[in-house]
Amino acid sequence: MKKLYVVGIGPGSIENMTLKAYNVIKECDVIVGYTKYLDMIKEIIEGKELYSTGMRSEEERCRLAIKLAKEKDVAIISTGDAGIYGMAGLILELCNEEEIKNVVIVPGITASSAAGSIVGAPLMHDNCNISLSDLMTPYDEIKERVDFAAKSDFIISLYNPKSKGRPHYLKECIDIIRQYRDSKTPVAIVKHALREGQNSLVTTIDNIDYDLVDMMTIVIVGNSKSYIKDGQFITPRGYNTRC
């Protein structure tokens, strides 16, 4: 068995990959990934053995990577961080079934961190990520998690906030958060963070334009202390800033 690397490539631009992720991809013989993810890093995988699968073929992709890693060093890639809604967990589960040990997880910049860097410093205090996709988690559980996070005053980053099949989930979850937040609570809407097509807006919980949101968007909702200053979304951590 050769090495199997599970690599988070970050937002999708080469300049925002970690150095380790870049080096691992350059050194591996074989790269496995979702078709669009491979296209994001095409300039550094030219000439390599490439294997791609479409959306919702995660298990097929992981099993293929494990099979290929029996003979060659393989990198299976995810955008963001491989351990946050990526391939790391599934790879480890499947490798445990086959008692395969040569797996290395290579972290990357997750979407909430990328989006946060664009709009200011919204994640400076306790925060959480919640995916609104119900493909893996029942929607009732998602809403319950949103409720607990909002009640606990977490800054909340909403991944996969809106799709054609679930156009109303985001508004319904914002309505849950609204029970515990002031109407002027900052909200960031960031599309294609740190990659081509980037677009962002800082607004408030009362003024969200839901038409701006799609699956390529991260929505960050501030906590009770978050505020907007000169267009920047800031969550204080509690430092004494008085001179």
**DSSP three-state, residue 59:** helix
Taking the C-alpha atoms of residue 40 and residue 178, their distance in angstroms, rounded to an integer, is: 37
Query: Cα 107 from chain centroid?
Result: 12
Beta-ladder partners of 103:
4
**Residue labelled with tokens 């294609």:** 192
Q: Which pLDDT value is given to residue 162? A: 95
Query: CA dihedral defined by 86, 187, 141, 55, rounded to 10 degrees?
Result: -30
Percent of the chain clearing pLDDT 70 (strictly above): 98
Does residue 240 have a pLDDT over 80? Answer: no
Query: Residue 62: which H helix or E strand, with range?
Result: helix 58-68
What does the alpha-carbon distance between residue 177 and residue 185 come to, in Å, rounded to a whole number? 10
Q: Please tell me the distance from the alpha carbon of residue 194 to that of residue 114, in angstroms, as a whole number.
A: 6
> For residues 198 and 191, what is the distance between their CA atoms, to the nearest angstrom?
6
Sign of CA dihedral 160, 10, 104, 65: positive
**What mean pLDDT is reported for the chain?**
94
pLDDT digits (tens, 9 = 90+) for 24-51: 999 999 999 999 999 999 999 999 999 9
Report in angstroms the alpha-carbon separations of 107 from 16, 19, 52, 86, 112: 12, 10, 21, 10, 14
Mean pLDDT of 1-19: 92
pLDDT tens figures, 113-157: 999 999 999 999 999 999 999 999 999 999 999 999 999 999 999
Distance CA 210, CA 145 (A): 21
| Contact call for residues 131 and 214 (beta carbons, < 8 A) | no
CA dihedral 123, 125, 131, 137 (to 10 degrees): 170
Give the separation between CA 53 and CA 177, rounded to whole angstroms: 36
Q: Which residues pair with 155 in a beta bridge?
A: 127
Specify the pairing of strand 4-8 against strand 103-106.
parallel
Instruction: State the DSSP H helix or E strand holding residue 103, giving kind and residue range, or none if neither.
Output: strand 103-106
169: phi then psi, degrees, rounded to nearest 5:
-60, -45
Cα(196)–Cα(11) distance, integer angstroms:
10
| pLDDT level of residue 241 (50, 70, 90 thresholds) | low
pTM over the 0.85 mark: yes
Helix 88-97 vs helix 58-68: crossing angle, to nearest 10 = 60
Q: What is the pLDDT of residue 243?
A: 41
The token pair at 88 is: 């790391």
